[in-house]
Amino acid sequence: MNIDPVKALDDKIERLKKELKSLETRIDHAQTEAAHDQLSQTNQLKDNTRKLTRTDDRVTELAESVHRLERLLVALNRKVRAGETQKADFDDWPEVAEPLIAKILAGQEAYARRTFTPQEAKDTRKAIAEYDRKALEAIDAAEALTHLPPNAEALWRKNYKQWQAVTAQERPEAPDDDTYAKDTVAKSAGNEAIARTRRLIRARIEDAVARDLLFPAWFENMLGPAAPPGKADDWLYTATDVVLYRLLHGVTSPADALGPAPSEEGHRKTLHDRLTGECADYRKP
């Protein structure tokens, strides 16, 4: 041991410097290794991401291939069955004559039309009478405006305000008892006609299913080749309405069951949207 305290302190400082240098070296090595590990992990992540992207692309390609294969199998199945199986006819309906279709359409128009109930008609007539009474008073007030003296400003304003109050209103539409009665009859006849037509359509579809007939292309495109398990009754109900829609609106496309979607709001658009949604569910795998 060095007995010189200064020399001993210097020696201790030198040892500390060496230890510090060694620690800095180890830290540098550790940082370098960490950087290498991070770079390696980053490269590995990029590589995995590229592999995952390629896998996703491959899955998409396979899904498209499966979809194309399914369509080819359906087409092939139709060709095979067409040569061996009778075809179902869902386009010709001599038993659903034009007068029957006209009753259904007239009933739908009656439901869409705004009609008055007896009580509504009574209230409307009272409102019309009150409007006419106020209108006559306003006309008298308006005529009086031209005869008032110049200093009758308050009375002039009162009469003018009364005239404005009536002219700002709209006279209620008078109820038509004949239209209400006719619409009631049209609704009842339309309900009977549509019930009869649906029975005829459903019976023919059920017969085609029982005999395993080949459905028309537009029918299979819309509803699939058969009823989904557990949904036979719902499927038949929708299928009946699809055929009925074609009859009511003159759709004759051999591929498109419902034709273009209606642009105007109303019964036809509502039915088109409902059938489109229901059939999409039936076509799901």
User: pLDDT digits over 174-196, tens only?
Assistant: 656 566 678 788 889 999 999 99
Q: Quick one: pLDDT at residue 115?
A: 63
- Percent of the chain with pLDDT strictly greater than 70: 70
More confident of the two residues 233 and 282? 233
Q: What are phi and psi of 214, to 5 degrees?
A: -80, 120
pLDDT at residue number 172:
66
In the chain, what are the domain boundaries?
12-84, 85-115+183-285, 117-175
With 80 as the cut, is the pLDDT of residue 66 above it?
no
pLDDT single digits (tens) 92-142: 999 999 999 999 998 888 888 766 667 766 776 777 777 777 777 766 666
Average of per-residue pLDDT across 256-267:
90
Which of 243, 247, 245 has the alpha carbon at shortest distance from 262? 245
Q: Name the pLDDT band for 21 (thresholds 50, 70, 90).
A: confident
Q: How far does the chain reach from its first CA to its final CA, in angstroms?
A: 90
**pLDDT at residue number 123:** 74
CA distance linking residue 273 with residue 264, whole number of Å: 12
Greater confidence (267 vs 159) lies with 267
CB-based contacts of 104, cutoff 8 Å, min separation 6: 190, 193, 194, 197, 248
Residues listed for the chain: 285
Q: What is the mean pLDDT of residues 151-159?
A: 63
CB 261 within 8 A of CB 272: yes
- Bridge partners of residue 214, in order along the sequence: 87
pLDDT score recorded for residue 241? 95
Among 138, 158, 135, residue whose Cα is nearest residue 148: 158
Of the listed ranges 69-83, 119-133, 234-248, the one predicted with least confidence: 69-83
Confidence of residue 168 (pLDDT cuts 50, 70, 90): low
| Identity of the residue numbered 259 | G
- Between the alpha carbon of residue 16 and those of residues 6, 19, 29, 52, the distances in Å are 15, 5, 20, 52
The CA distance from 269 to 249, in Å, is 11
- pLDDT of 238 strictly over 60: yes
Closest of 233, 221, 239 to residue 278, by C-alpha = 239
Helix (DSSP H) and strand (DSSP E) numbers for the chain? 8, 0
Quote the tokens at residue 164: 């404005």
pLDDT value of residue 225: 82
DSSP-assigned beta bridge partners for residue 87:
214
